[in-house]
């Protein structure tokens, strides 16, 4: 058959999961462009970032080439940063983006973050993208074995995201496609919780791609439904375009609307939400977290007086001063021993003048402070750090000393990567 190689089947699924309150993933499933984006940031800023990235790709329309696609990614990065600067509630927001332009038997992929693209060809599943994540970086440096990375408690700390830096480094991957190829884009809600051989089996055996998409999401939810899960799949084939139009093998899909969430947990079921949300906030190492320590503001409010304009002026000045303090404090992180004897990352000022705490705990690690002190007395010295540096140090401590109630990781015997068994 002489028909051109084209997308002959399309499927997508996006689900909130069983733990989070809402879905911060966005996707696009309108060939020639498909994409997934996994947003991060508090107060629903994550979904704003993810939607901004996807909407920017949608604006490209049908006439697009690899250069325009890359330009759109860079533009989306600028837009997300501009929005975050203009709106304090959105400061620090970011998103992954993995997109593929499929045209003329060729795929051009752009990729930032830890969402993934896979190719299923001849029953083999091949990962096309490299995760921009802390654990993937440790694996590349030979400091962590791949199977350790898969169960690492900080495996969702990412090192690149749209919105994190003024200039974004975008991976570009080109791929010649073949008849029967299936491309899968997914967020880490799938890849971090479902083993790749199961992903391969589900996609390879499903009679229709939409069944595969639904089964992948169901599988992620059976693994706990910890995160939002989004998948987009396309199959390539050679079909006479006229016949294709007649059979409508490619369903029309709304590009950005997530599918309706399945019913939430029943009234008697507890949603284990808090722990995972805490990890979520760690995900943009490079940008400051804006949330001001509420206690500082409360203290200033307490001094506000109604006795007259001078008192109001003094209160306003104090508020302004506190605002400056909060602003500086919001950019300062440190790693310290918490009163309960574990290591945590705190946020604000590392010292407590006259016994007043000007910081708030931000991220617990579960690592015993005594273990860390015994091995390395200087680590928990409350040195001020950037957010990314504090997160990386905390992640290294977790990796080195383990977390009893998660799963202890062995300390590395050497700097060589341990080969898979």
Query: Which residues here bind Mn ion, judged by CB under 5 A?
Result: 38, 187-189, 227
Pick 192 or 372: Cβ nearer Mn ion:
192
Residue 256, classed as helix, strand or coil, is coil
Closest approach of Mn ion to the CB of residue 302, in Å = 40
**Nearest residue (CB) to Mn ion, 189 versus 364:** 189
Q: Residue 131 Cβ, how far from Mn ion at the closest point, in Å?
A: 12
Rounded to whole angstroms, the Cα distance separating 119 from 128 reads 7
CB nearer to Mn ion: give 8 or 226.
226
Buried/exposed code over 282-311 (b: 16+ C-beta within 10 A; e: otherwise): bbbbbbbbbbbbeebeeebeeeeeeeeeee
Q: Cβ closer to Mn ion: 189 or 293? A: 189
Q: Tokens 């690149």, residue?
A: 160
Shortest reach from residue 192's CB to Mn ion, in Å: 7
Toward Mn ion, which CB reaches closer, 225 or 293?
A: 225
The Cα 258–Cα 115 span in angstroms is: 16
**8 Å CB contact between 140 and 208:** no
Q: How many CB atoms lie within 10 A of CB 219?
A: 17
- CB contact set of 222 (below 8 Å; sequence gap of 6+): none
Q: How far is the CB of 70 from Mn ion (least distance, A)?
A: 23
For Mn ion, the closer CB: 191 or 332 = 191
Least distance CB 189 / Mn ion (angstroms): 5
Minimum separation from the CB atom of position 40 to Mn ion (A): 8
CA distance 60 to 72: 8
Q: Which lies closer to Mn ion via its Cβ, residue 187 or residue 342?
A: 187
CB of 124 to Mn ion, least distance (A): 25
Assess contact for 48 and 256: CB atoms under 8 A. Answer: no
What is the number of other CB atoms lying within 10 angstroms of the CB of residue 67? 10
Can you spell out the DSSP letters for 152-179?
-TTTT-BS--BTTSSS---EEEEEE--T
Q: Give the nearest distance from C-beta 96 to Mn ion in angstroms.
A: 8
Shorter beta-carbon distance to Mn ion: residue 16 or 342: 16
Q: d(Cα 210, Cα 213) in Å, to the nearest integer?
A: 5
Residue 120 contacts residue 204 (beta carbons within 8 Å):
yes
In the complex with Mn ion, the residue whose CB is nearer, 37 or 358, is: 37
Round to whole Å and give the CA distance between 56 and 47. 14
Q: How far apart are CA 110 and CA 96, in angstroms?
A: 11
Q: Write down the least CB distance from residue 44 to Mn ion, Å.
A: 15
């Amino acid at each position: 058959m002489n028909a051109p190689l084209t997308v002959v089947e399309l499927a997508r699924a996006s689900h909130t999961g069983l733990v989070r309150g809402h879905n911060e993933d966005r996707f696009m499933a309108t060939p020639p462009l498909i994409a997934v984006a996994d947003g991060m940031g508090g107060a629903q800023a994550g979904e704003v970032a993810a939607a901004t990235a996807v909407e920017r790709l949608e604006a490209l329309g049908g006439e697009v080439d690899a250069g325009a696609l890359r330009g759109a990614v860079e533009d989306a990065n600028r837009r997300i940063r501009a929005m975050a600067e203009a709106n304090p509630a959105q400061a620090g927001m970011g998103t992954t983006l993995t997109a593929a332009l499929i045209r003329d038997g060729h795929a051009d992929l752009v990729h930032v973050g830890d969402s993934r693209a896979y190719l299923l060809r001849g029953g083999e599943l091949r990962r096309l993208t490299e995760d921009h994540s802390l654990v993937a970086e440790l694996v590349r440096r030979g400091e962590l074995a791949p199977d350790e990375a898969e169960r690492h408690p900080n495996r969702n700390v990412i090192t690149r995201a749209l919105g994190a830096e003024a200039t974004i480094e975008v991976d570009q991957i080109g791929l010649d496609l073949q008849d029967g190829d299936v491309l899968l884009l997914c967020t880490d809600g799938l890849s971090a919780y479902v083993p790749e051989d199961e992903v391969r089996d589900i996609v390879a055996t499903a009679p229709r791609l939409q069944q595969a998409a639904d089964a992948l999401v169901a599988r992620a939810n059976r693994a706990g439904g910890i995160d939002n899960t989004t998948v987009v799949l396309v199959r390539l084939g050679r079909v006479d375009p006229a016949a294709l139009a007649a059979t409508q093998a490619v369903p029309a899909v709304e590009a950005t609307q997530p599918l309706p969430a399945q019913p939430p947990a029943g009234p008697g079921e507890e949603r284990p939400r808090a722990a995972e949300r805490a990890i979520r906030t760690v995900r943009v190492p490079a940008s400051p977290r804006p949330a001001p320590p509420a206690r500082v503001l409360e203290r200033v409010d307490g001094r506000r007086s109604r006795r007259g304009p001078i008192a109001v002026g003094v209160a306003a000045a104090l508020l302004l001063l506190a605002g400056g303090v909060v602003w500086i404090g919001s950019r300062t992180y440190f790693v310290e021993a918490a009163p309960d004897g574990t290591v945590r990352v705190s946020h604000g000022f590392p010292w407590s003048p006259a016994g007043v705490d000007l910081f708030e705990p931000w991220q617990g690690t579960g690592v015993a402070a005594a273990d860390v002190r015994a091995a390395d007395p200087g680590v928990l010295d409350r040195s001020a750090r950037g957010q990314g540096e504090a997160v990386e140090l905390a992640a290294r401590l977790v990796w080195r000393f383990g977390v009893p109630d998660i799963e202890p990781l062995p300390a590395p015997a050497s700097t060589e990567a341990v080969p898979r068994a």
